[in-house]
Copies of this chain bind each other. A is one copy, B any other.
Amino acid sequence: MRLLEERILKDGIVKEGGVLKVDSFLNHQMDIELFNEMGKEFKRLFSDAPINKILTIEASGIGIACVVAQYFHVPVVFAKKAQSINIDGDVYQTKIQSFTHKRVYDVIVSRKYLSPEDHVLIIDDFLANGCALEGLVDLVHSSGATVEGIGIAVEKGFQHGGDLIRSKGLRLESLAIIDRFENGTVVFKEQ
Residues of A within 8 A of B (CB): 19, 21, 23-25, 28-33, 35-36, 58-59, 62-63, 65-67, 69-70, 73-78, 80, 82, 84-87, 100-102, 109-110, 112-113
- Taking CB atoms, residues of chain B closer than 8 Å to A23 are 86-87, 110
Quick check: A21 and B75 within 8 Å, CB to CB?
no
B59 touches A29 (CB 8 A): no
Q: Check A75 against B112 for contact (C-beta < 8 Å).
A: no
Q: How long is the Cα–Cα vector from A110 to B13 in the complex, in angstroms? A: 15
Copies per assembly: 2
Given A62-B59, A63-B63, A110-B28, check contact A100 B85 (CB 8 Å): yes
Given contacts A30-B66, A59-B80, 17 further A-B contacts (CB under 8 A): A19-B86, A21-B86, A25-B75, A28-B77, A28-B78, A28-B87, A29-B76, A29-B113, A30-B78, A31-B75, A32-B76, A35-B66, A59-B62, A62-B63, A62-B66, A63-B63, A63-B65
A19→B28 CA distance, assembly (Å): 30
**What are the 3 tightest A-B residue pairs by CB atom distance, in nearest-first order?**
A58-B59, A63-B66, A62-B62
Q: Are A36 and B84 in contact (CB under 8 A)?
A: no
- Determine which of B24, B28, B63 lies in contact with A80 in the assembled complex, contact meaning CB atoms within 8 Å: B28
Contacts of A69 in B (CB 8 A): 30, 32
Secondary structure of the A contact surface, majority rule: mixed
Across the interface, A101 reaches (CB within 8 A) one of B36, B84, B102, B113, namely: B84
Known: A67-B66, A85-B100. A77 touches B29 (CB 8 A): yes
Give Cα A112 to B21, complex, Å: 13
**Closest residue of chain B to A13, judged by CB?**
B88
**Complex interface: chain B residues within 8 A of A102 (CB):** 85
Minimal beta-carbon separation of A44 from chain B (angstroms): 19
